[in-house]
Chains A and B, each alone.
Chain A
Amino acid sequence: MFDAIVVGSGMSGGWAAKELTERGLKTLVIERGRHVEHRVDYKDSLMPWQLPMAGAVPEGEVERDYPVQSKGGSMSTATQQFWVKDSEHPYSYPPDKPFYWIRGYHLGGRSIMWGRQSYRLSELDFSANAKDGHGSDWPIRYSDIAPWYDHVERFAGISGSAENLEQLPDGQFLPAMALTPAELDFKKKVEDKFSGRRVIPGRCAHLTTSRKQDAELGRAPCQYRALCDRGCAFGAYFSSLSATLPAAKRTGNLTVVTDSIAHSVIYDPKTKRATGVRVIDANTKQGKTYHAKVVFLCASTIPTAQILLNSVSAALPNGLANRSDAVGRYLMDHNMASVIAFYPGFEDLYHRGRRPNGFYIPRYRNVSEPAKFLRGFGFQGLVMRVNWQLQSKFQPGIGAALKAKLRKPGPWLLLLAGFGEMLPNPGNRVTLHPTRKDRWGLPIVHIDCGRGDNERQMMEQVVEDATAMAAAAGARVLLANKGDGSVGLGIHEMGTAHMGRDPAKSVLNQYGQAHDVPNLFISDGAAMASSGAQNPSLTYMALSARAAHYAVEFLRSGVI
């Protein structure tokens, strides 16, 4: 018997575990994937010439085992270990609505694989549903979560600059990573021409200075290697493995089991409480149960819904905490579109080191500028000099002349990648497949999620605005891409067990506590009532820490 069970060890589960154990709760973390040993299992020490296959995963293997995961953007033989094999973990979607589901099943989850961009949602985001009527009104406002953003930023270490923007609140920042001269030029030209648009240093979960609290956990400042996708032996970027799980472990209150796939939550209809979690051993396929006073689901957005929907009983034929029928619904992601352009000038300057970050343009549509659509988008971007990889792509050339050209730094390249909010839509939905099961006998998920007119119009505007900003800076557009209309590749799934005020329409209350099951908490992306345009991990961290705080309060006061 534990005090608490946390299902999932990624971004959210790590935080829940840290906060619960630090408050004295004997906590069990259940991870479906294998153990990953921080540092030891990373391939970040390999030189370019040491990478198997020069880094390239064999084409036949990609086609057989990673047809979806390989779309995620950064698979190589140095990172391959972190992606699931699609062949082993099937799911389905309607043929005309592809949903690309990018996953990592291992201790630490996607906190090892993430892009590390860290932004707060604002009052604008928390009031968006109430304002335009899409989705459920968030039961919290910015002021409710602001202290928890402070709390998680102080521990995780977020590099950034204070900008005093209403739509992108400042946080507890470590020093920002400097912009390149071409980025500073772009900033000036954009801000001069477009009132209300700002180009600011990206905010990322990297240590940019030495702090005692980080050293105590074995974390060192960023070395500017940009090998983050392989896992960082310096622990310079925030992950469950570098930060939250070690913090939880040192309390003496943490137990972790890996290779344990959550099957369902055990529910007692008499007390209307969750009493534990059923798991399947990933290797032996044997079932096992764990019991606790409180259960946190942090399995990530889609699996959290899957576990709830699979927690059926005579009393709950539609699954657990699903009186509203909202479990699995309102699935959201961020849609993306991008522009790449050659940036003129600055031939006499170059950069040294590999900054794992870029700039950010906070949302301005429906903030300082009108739009034909609801909500808005932000841009991630950079202006840096390319090397042989892109320089050789667009022009012919061989021999000594080619070699001489590629020896020198290439032109400056501007990248603008827009991330657009998706409206919460009950029709975008995860269900259990009626017949297909995985190798552990669990029903696979069916994901029916597509873009609507609002999303399509927004992506048109992303490309139009990016092109206009490139033009304002005199940059020559090389490629513009509105994406293929699919969903999932933002890798920001959220919304399938959302927070709301009305128990008849939403799954969780203002504490992340299930309306129907008082000792069940959900604090991963599933909890999100709307998506904002900002990268969501920082919000999952804050929601997790906040939910853990209240769970402990309620336990101590005897409410649950």
Chain B
Amino acid sequence: MTENYEQNMDPTHITLMMTRRALLRDALLMVGGVATALPIDLWANSNSTPRFFDEAEFALLDEICEIIIPQTDTPGARGAGVPAALDSLIRDWASAEHQREFGVLLKEFDAKAIAAGGKALLQLSPQQRIDVIAAYDAEHFSKPPYSILKNLVLRLYYSSEIGATQELRYEHVPGAWEPAIKVTPETRAWASPGPI
């Protein structure tokens, strides 16, 4: 139990993991119906107007989210509602300092796009956009504020219902501990139940 994630992960706090809904419902009924839902504030806003960034900034953020996690045989960040959730998170979670840095970062993506292709990111071809972000990622993947923004995109995607249950697998109440199961071509990583 200590300072940061890497520094001192209590074994009980490394949670690597996942659900079968029917089992969950049964289990919760067994213990007396505690499945009271809280307001799902972050995702409820998915289809409405962005609240933190303006329209142009949000369009750019939306594209970057989808470039980081695109639609494949499962929905990507956009399909999972990540861009709007991220906008909400930056408004409601991020410090004023991070809010400012994320704003600057969006401008920097456009600056890189202009340097590489002579146009703002959204004016480039889809492949050019990917190339610009890939180059930026290669250089900045471990440097804030980009590393923080990227981590938020991944966290929101893999903790969304689509990300956790269609892309990965999630069991809220596994009911058993099986220390060794066989990996098959169909095996997916377990989604995590929370941020810790």
Listed in ascending order, the chain A residues whose CB lies under 8 Å from chain B are: 39-40, 42-60, 63, 71-74, 76, 78, 102, 115-117, 177-181, 183, 202, 204, 220, 222-229, 233-235, 336, 338, 340, 347-359, 380-382, 384-389, 392-400, 402-404, 406-410, 413, 415, 417, 479, 481, 483-484, 489-491
Contact = CB atoms under 8 A, between A and B. Distances in A.
B127 to A, nearest CB: 11
B16 to A, nearest CB: 5
Contact of A386 (B11, B16, B67, B95): B16
Interface residues of B, number: 89
Contacts of A336: 2, 8
16 contacts: A40-B34, A45-B36, A48-B158, A49-B159, A53-B41, A204-B12, A235-B31, A338-B9, A351-B181, A353-B171, A357-B11, A387-B190, A400-B70, A403-B69, A489-B2, A490-B1
A398 B176 contact: no
Contacts of B89: 53-54, 56
A314 to B, nearest CB: 43
Interface in B151-196: 151, 154-156, 158-161, 164, 167-168, 170-183, 187-196
A530 B97 CA distance: 45
> Which of B12, B13, B38, B72 neighbours the largest number of chain A CB atoms within 10 Å of its CB?
B12
Contacts of B154: 388, 392, 406
B14 interface: yes
B17 interface: yes
Contacts of A417: 8-11
B85 interface: yes
Nearest to B21: A47
Interface string B109-135: 000000000000000000000100110
A381 B10 CA distance: 8
What does DSSP make chain B's interface, helix, strand, loop or mixed?
A: loop
B177 A483 contact: no
Interface of B: 1-3, 6-19, 27-28, 30-32, 34-43, 67-70, 72, 76, 85, 89, 92-96, 98, 130, 133-134, 137-138, 141-142, 150-151, 154-156, 158-161, 164, 167-168, 170-183, 187-196
Contacts, number: 297
A315 to B, nearest CB: 41
Contact of B42 (A53, A340, A394): A53
A384 B181 CA distance: 12
B97 to A, nearest CB: 8
A228 B193 CA distance: 11
B122 to A, nearest CB: 17
A104 to B, nearest CB: 12
Nearest to B96: A60
Contacts of B137: 396-398
A407 B2 contact: no
A55 B28 CA distance: 21
A403 B68 CA distance: 8
Most A-side CB within 10 Å, residue of B6, B7, B188, B190:
B7
A115 B38 contact: no
A380 B10 contact: yes
Contact of B161 (A47, A355, A395, A403): A47
A52 B167 contact: no
B12 A226 contact: yes
Contact of A55 (B67, B134, B159, B189): B159
Nearest to B159: A48
B156 to A, nearest CB: 6
Contacts of B42: 52-54
A440 B166 CA distance: 52
A349 B174 contact: no
Residue among A74, A340, A395 with most chain B CB within 10 A: A74
A400 B67 CA distance: 9
A60 B137 CA distance: 27
A227 B150 CA distance: 26
A409 B189 contact: yes
Contact of A233 (B31, B138, B158, B182): B31
Contacts of A224: 174-177
Contact of A398 (B68, B98, B158, B171): B68
A117 B12 CA distance: 9
A128 B33 CA distance: 50
Contacts of B193: 47-48, 225-227, 354
Given A49-B164, A73-B13, 8 more contacts: A58-B93, A71-B2, A351-B177, A351-B180, A352-B177, A392-B151, A403-B76, A417-B11
B177 A353 contact: yes
B189 A76 contact: no
Contacts of A180: 179-180
